[in-house]
Structure 1
């Protein structure tokens, strides 16, 4: 095959590209249907954003290791300052203060913080001597790297994004080799603090989401409406769905947010179980590829970087699917590569670009090793 397929093409990560392009195109089809069989306003902007951010991911993949390690902390600090700016002068939408607006540009710094935390922690543990990993010196600085942006994001308020930051950062700490008993102790402390946090720290609408998750039927036309209609849409799809463009829940406006948070329910109604399995399979292939990049890396920094980016994508996927099927509270997490929205597409494509970058480092190192031999 090397004589048939040019080497630059053969070297591309097709194990990633095939499921990724499949998800994006499938998402565009679902968004086309959600807009009453119109490519505007969802499908066209979805494909345009993917094209722009795919170019960004390719640019990221070409970055060299010394530059990335050098920029890890400055990039984190810049995004942290942007979060502070959001508190001072951020735009308010939907009752939350999460965006910065500069002319026509609108960015959500909390989305950028998800990969920024992973890069900063990977750099920290990559530089930390192995003998210091089981000591408190490995916990306090890393804990501050996670907790400072979490606190700022919770002020917006945005519980879902703060949990995503904690998940990605916590996984990097776990994979760095910190003692398991510390994580068990933290989990026990967190479980004990849940009642206190529920009554004294959560906003009224956040407490309502939790109680609705536990018993959505108590107010099916009010607080429980979203999740009830989502489960109806998914269940009514059956094995093969109602047919492309024939979904009643989304087309008759029963299903809220059919093009963003609940795009999986929109898809499942029209494509059924087979469409759902295809979607999950594509995500599984992408995540498996990301983990294979982490396993193939030859140093701690690269391993933690790849694993953390894979974890960030996984959090999006897992929470969204659990949410739309009624197994988790509604927290406003979109489905990667399928939901309509620029912020989540940007974050996940940054993760894809970093994974491609780490893969290129490993491939380059292997080729160099072969040449030396």
Structure 2
């Protein structure tokens, strides 16, 4: 017994971890996160099959994207956060360059230029990658400074946020640009941004909003705001989407009409039923119970992210994990809010449920970063 105890004391922290860790911990996978993500993936494919009108092609593409995302998540989980931090600035610069390429020669679809299209190879949306590189860059920058950040360092961080924000607004993609802005702002907030400056930012919301209304927002974006304030003013035009969405949600009742039994989406009353408005399909077919269970899954996922944030052992990991978790919360909150008429429509998909390959892969990559932060530690506490 004495010899064993002495031997244990000579082991490095990594050796002790390998002896005590579970299989999932040894391969740097967080079990609760993985389980929740697999459940959400299954729910998403089930709802998408109905929302897309039983289109197996869309479902199979989404399943392939989910599989690719899971593989990338597991790969990213193997990378130590300190190694990630070294390459974050290069990733940020690469993302900005891709956004500039989109601005110059991007692929246009439905009046927006958001994609890079390589015919016969791939079509992807570079702005999605900035949802990870943006908070990672601000976390990398602040982790090397004294916190709370000084006015100079805060200004530099805001400049880093504004460059991709402006490029994405130009596409135009107001929803994604606001998410990018929020992801960077969350890092500043977690880093101890002074309350006086927060108050100043809140006070600036009104003049900034007025400036965006007159000089930044396009006509269709302004119409979305007006529709949010009074959707019944144009029930057959701009107000059609939100009116039909609320009708679908309300018609589901407590338990819903049953899977594949929805009428609003299947009879084409509900536009974009497989993307931005997919939760209206879920509400119609599975009712309040189905929506509540989905919200519960999201809540558990966010709670797990916050636990990882609290237990992160480095400042970079804490800032990045917290920002990724809170950005995911904003994803969910904004989509549900806009579909139910509580927020203007800004084109934000519902995580893991809405159709979209680039978005799905990016989300899972972000959770791979969370797994890396949680599992690459000097000691592992069982949770």
Q: If the length of structure 2 is used for normalisation, what is the TM-score? A: 0.90
Asked if structure 2 preserves the Cα contact closer than 8 Å seen for 1:313 and 1:351, the reply is no
State yes or no: 1:351 paired with 2:366: yes
Q: CA deviation at 1:10?
A: 7.0
1:125 pairs with 2:142: yes
CA distance in 1, matches of 2:31, 2:312: 18
SS at match of 2:264: helix
- Structure 2 stretches of 5 or more lacking a match? 1-20
Q: 1:8 maps to which residue? A: 23
* 1:220 corresponds to which of 235, 248, 266: 235
Any idea what SS the aligned residue of 1:139 has? helix
Deviations 1:70-94 (A, max 9, x none): 1010110010011011111111111
CA deviation vs aligned residue, 1:21-47 (integer Å, no higher than 9, x gap): 221111111111123345x12222222
1:27 paired with 2:40, answer no
Give the counterpart of 1:86 among 99, 102, 117: 102
Residues of 2 paired with 1:127 and 1:105: CA distance? 37
Segments ≥4 residues shifted beyond 3 Å: 9-12, 35-38
Partner of residue 204 from structure 1, selected from 209, 216, 219: 219
- 2:83 is aligned to 67
Aligned to 1:308: 323
Once the 2 structures are TM-superposed, how far is the Cα of residue 134 of structure 1 from its aligned partner? 4.2
Structure 1 residues 208-260: Cα deviation after superposition (integer angstroms, max 9, x where no partner): 00000010011111000001000000000000000111000010000001111
SS in 2 for 1:97: strand
TM-score (norm 1): 0.93
Moved more, 265-274 or 343-352: 343-352
Aligned residues: 358
Aligned equivalents of 1:280 and 1:349: distance in 2?
18
Q: Does 1:190 align with 2:205?
A: yes
Tell me which residue corresponds to 1:3: none
Q: Is the 8 A contact 1:91 1:97 kept in 2?
A: yes
Post-superposition CA distance 1:278-329 (Å, at most 9, x none): 1100000111101100000122111001011112211211110001100111
SS at match of 2:113: strand
Task: Give the 3-state SS of the residue equivalent to 2:117 in structure 1.
Answer: strand
Pick aligned residue for 2:114 from 89, 92, 98: 98
SS in structure 2 of the partner of residue 259 of structure 1: coil
**Higher RCO structure (Cα 8 Å, ≥6 apart):** 2
1:167 is aligned to 182
Give the distance between the partners of 2:103 and 2:149, measured in 1 at CA: 36
5+ long unaligned stretches in structure 1: 1-5
1:269 aligned onto 2:284: yes
- Once superposed, what is the RMSD of the aligned Cα atoms? 1.6
Q: For the Cα contact (< 8 Å) 2:117–2:123, is it kept in 1?
A: yes
* Cα contact 1:42–1:259 (8 A) shared by 2: no
Deviations 1:339-358 (A, max 9, x none): 11112102211111111110
Cα distance in 1 for residues equivalent to 2:215 and 2:87:
38
Structure 1 residue corresponding to 2:296, chosen from 272, 275, 281: 281
| Paired residue secondary structure (1:251) | coil
Provide the rounded CA distance (Å) in 2 between the counterparts of 1:8 and 1:144. 43
Cα distance between partner residues in 2 of 1:309 and 1:164: 11
